[in-house]
Every structure is written in C-alpha cells, then in structure tokens.
Amino acid sequence: MQNFFTPKSIAVIGVSKEPNKVGHIIFKNLYHKFKTFPINPKEKQILGEKVYSSLKEIPHVDLAIIAIPVGGVIQAVHECGKKGIKHLIIISSGFKEIGNIHLEYELAKALHQHGIKCVGPNCLGVFDAHSGLDSLFLPPKKLTRPKPGGISFISQSGAIGSAVLDLLAEEACGFAKFISYGNGTNLSETDFLEYLEKDPQTKIICMYVEGIQNGKRFIEVAKKSKKPIIIIKGGKSEKGAHATLSHTGSLAGSYDIYKGAFKQAGVITADSLQEVFHIAKLFVTLPKPKGKRVQIITNGGGYGIMATDELELQGLPLAEMTSKTRNFLKHHVPKIVIISNPMDLVGDATNERYGLALKMCVDDKNIDLIFLLILHQTPLIDENIIDVVKAHKGKKPIIILSVGGKQTQILSRKFESLHLPVFAFPRDAVSAVKKWAEWYS
C-alpha cells in the first residue's frame, strides 16, 4: 500500500478552477510536494500549472485521486486500469451509502478487473504527516495538519477523522498516518490495520469503525499486533446502528458482540472520541508502567477525594507508600501535610514541597503511577512548577490533573508541550489510565 502514502507521481482527476471545489483543494495540497498532474478536459491551466484533458496525455503515475461526480467514476476507474494505475483514492460519494448498491457492485467489479487497490469511495482519503501526502479536501486554514509523530488513525468517517486530526494538531501530539476509507469497497479496515502494524512510523493505531467487514480476519490481525490498538465503535444504539446505513452503508450489529470481539483481540475499546485521544496521549507520553498502584499528590483536599472516588469506582488500586517514604516526609514537610493516599500538601503548598513529595513517590517501589493534582490558583504555586515536574519526567508515569480557567489552561499546554499529559477531570483521567495500564498487563 506504500503508493497511497509515498507516491512518486499523482494524477488528480477532477481538478476545478474554483478554489472551494474538492478537486482544486486536493491539487493545491499536493502540487508543491509531489509531481502532480491535474486532469480536467475543460481547463488549460490551474494554479499556474498545465491541465491535461485525460490520463492519456500524462506518463504513468503511482496514484490517482478521483474527485468527480459519481456518474463518471466507473469510466474513470476503467481509464486508470488501462493506464496501468494500481492505486486509487476515490473521494466521490453516491454509492451504497445512499442505497446505490448496484453502482457499488459495478465499482467493485471494475476495481477487481484491473487489479486496483482503492481507498474509498465516499471518503476524505489519506494524510501522511511524514511524507506530506494530503488528499484531504478540507483547507489547511480550516483544519490544521498535525506535526509528524507516531499516532495513526483509521476512520470509516471522514468527519470523525478530521476532528481527531484537528485535536492532535492543537495538543502538539505527533501524527503518522490518517486513512479515511469510507465505504471500503475493496480495502477494509483490517487491510489498513495490517499495513499500519508493519509501518515503522506508526506506534499507536486508533480506529473509528461503524462495522467490521470480516470479523474473523480482524480478530486474527489484531491479536498478532504488537502495537496498541484503540477503537471507538459508531452505531452502538439501535438508532445509531440504523444511521450507519445511510452514512457508509455499514451494518453495525450488536455492540455487546463487538465489545466481546475487541476484548478477545486485545483491542482497547474507548467510550468516546475524546477518550481515544486521551488513551493515545498516554501511550505517546508515558513510560511503561510496572503495575497499577496509584499515589495521589494534591494541594486541594476535595480534588484529591474526587480522584480517590474515581479510582475506587473504576477499580484502580491505591498505592501504600513504604514506611521509609512516610517517615522521611514526616520530618521534612509541615505537620499540617497529610501523608497518606491521597497525600494532601494543603493550600499553602510551594513548588519545593511538590518537588520533595514527587521525588519520594517516584523513588518508592510500592508506587507504580502518580496522579499529580495541581490547583494553580493557590498563592505559592507559580509556573516554575513545570520545571519541578519536568525533572522527574520519564522515571515513572506521572499524570497531571489541573482544572481552572485561562492561566491553568496556559500552564497545562506548557506541560503538554513537554509530553507531560494533563487532564482536567478525575473521571476522564482514571478511565484512560486504567485502559492504558491494563494493555500492558
């Protein structure tokens, strides 16, 4: 499938002069980075580049992107086949997702006849942050492309996938590959999963699916994967399942059956799109945990109690610090500090007090994970707390919880830029951390 991500040459079929048209945006995304041939029989020049009336006028290309009305797609596929093009991205919609089963069958037949691999139809296509391949018809000024990194996302829905791209670009999380496969006429989610498992740039695989085309094969491929796979299923409810038919033409099936299959395959099931991102962030930023015992450090008693409640409710164990840690802290922090779990440094906590508590917990063999709750609103905590926490980064998983307004959000972004994960609410943090830690166990 490499030609979908690092082609030497590309043809874009359906490039318009209109700047808001799909073909124009795709061509504009590509022509500075790849040898790209725009195809349109009615135009002579677009963006200062020569336009070709048909594929017959251009040399062989590795990849063709079809962005024309549905009525001309089958003919365009046959023309690509005659040209010897073996990789297509079909952006065009109007197939089984609107009940046009016959046309989808004709498309599948044409692809099979010419031995063509196809992403789509009815999709956004492909984005590769490392190579710059970008078939997305969403303008960069509206959808910021994320920087290169290790997260890849397979999405049956273009809208869901683009939202994740936007989130990751904002949160400074690096991206590898994005694949919006739409109806999945001859390449399914499992084909892309198998490819990404072997892709050296992909470290974590995220997926949004409405239906799995071949459940048995999916489980076999997922079981063999050595990379984390995080999946969110669309169509969980009865009405949601019905809606998938008019979106990508998928039969959703029972969510309980899917959950059981995902568990059997070792796949992490996320409960929301936000949680997909949360879990992926933990894999990107944190060292491998040695266990699941959590120590809470806080400067706000109520915030610590909320975190404790969530750990208890969701089944993550509280750590029991060693007597050595307890005795040391007893002699080095004020008597008002509660040396327990949660450890309450109280409202007059300083950066130095946090640093001391954090160092002792990082060195404590009874503690596997640290929930570091920081209320930035207290008077003696300033932005130097970032350097205090940074000094212990990578030694043990540290998850930061901070809730608040503008100043808190500014500091949270600074933590995130250093690959120190931040959550606002205990429930979100515990749910993501539990699923992340259990993957290693």
DSSP characters over 164-175:
HHHHHHHTT--E
Pull the structure tokens for residue 70.
């549905």
Do 280 and 324 have their domain in common? no
Model confidence over 169-216: pLDDT tens digits? 776 678 999 999 999 999 999 999 999 999 999 999 999 998 888 889
Q: Is the pLDDT of residue 246 over 60?
A: no
Percent of the chain with pLDDT over 90: 83
Q: Please give the Cα distance from 74 to 171 (Å, whole number).
A: 41
User: In this structure, are 158 and 281 located in the same domain?
Assistant: yes
Contact criterion met (CB below 8 Å) for 150 and 202: yes
- pLDDT range class, residue 166, cuts 50, 70, 90: confident
How far is residue 196's CA from residue 66's CA, in Å, rounded to a whole number? 24
Backbone angles phi, psi at 186, to 5 degrees: -130, 0
pLDDT > 60? residue 84: yes
Identify the band that residue 250 occupies on the pLDDT scale cut at 50, 70 and 90. Answer: very low
Residue 1 has pLDDT above 90, yes or no: yes
pLDDT, average across residues 133-138: 92
Regarding whether 436 and 295 lie in a shared domain, the answer is yes
Instruction: Name all contacts of 157-160 with Cβ < 8 Å and 24+ positions apart.
Output: 157/208, 157/210, 157/234, 157/247, 157/248, 158/123, 158/124, 158/182, 160/208, 160/234, 160/273
Give the pLDDT confidence of 26-76 residue by residue, as tens digits.
999 999 999 999 999 999 999 999 999 999 999 999 999 999 999 999 999
Contact 353, 297 (CB under 8 A): no
**72 shares its domain with 188:** no
Q: What is the CATH number of the domain that holds 43?
A: 3.40.50.720
At 322, the amino acid letter reads T
pLDDT of residue 172: 63
The total of structural domains in the chain comes to 3
pLDDT band at 241 (very low <50, low <70, confident <90, very high): very low
Are residues 117 and 149 part of one domain? Answer: no
**Residue 291 token pair:** 């266990």
3-class SS of residue 49: strand
Domain boundary among 285, 318, 333: 285
pLDDT in tens, 312-328: 999 999 999 999 999 99
Question: Does a structural domain hold residue 135?
Answer: no
Is there a single domain that holds both residue 159 and residue 263?
Answer: yes
Residue 132 lies in a domain: no
- The predicted model scores a pTM of 0.90
133 occurs within a structural domain? no
pLDDT mean over 335-345: 97
Residue 12 lies in a domain: yes
Q: Is 247 a residue whose pLDDT tops 80?
A: no
Residues 353 and 278 in one domain: no
> Is residue 46 included in any domain, yes or no?
yes
d(CA 108, CA 268): 32
Helix then strand count (H, E) for the chain reads: 15, 18
Nearest of 168, 222, 165 to residue 197 by alpha carbon: 222
What pLDDT was estimated at residue 173? 73
Average pLDDT, the chain: 92
Residue 397 is predicted with a pLDDT of 98
From 285, 316, 344, give the residue that closes a domain: 285
pLDDT of residue 249: 43
Same domain, 159 and 273: yes
Domain contains 128: no
CATH of the domain at 238: 3.40.50.261
Place of tokens 């700047």: 19
Which phi-psi region, left, alpha or beta, contains residue 51 (left: φ > 0; alpha: ψ -120 to 50)?
beta
pLDDT at 156: 87
Is 372 in the same domain as 400? Answer: yes
Name the H helices within 3-133. Answer: 22-30, 73-83, 101-114
pLDDT, tens only, 414-424? 999 899 999 99
Note whether residue 225 is domain-resident. Answer: yes
Domain range for 417 is 287-440
End residue of a domain, out of 260, 285, 310: 285
For position 76, what pLDDT does the model report? 98
Task: Render 285-333 in DSSP notation, one character per residue.
Answer: HSPPPS---EEEEES-HHHHHHHHHHHHHHTPPBP---HHHHHHHHHHS
The answer on 351 and 323 residing in a single domain is yes
250 and 395 assigned to the same domain? no
Residue 36, number of CB atoms within 10 A of its CB: 22
Would 134 be classed as within a structural domain?
Answer: no
Does 79 share its domain with 171? Answer: no
What average pLDDT does range 339-354 have in this prediction?
97
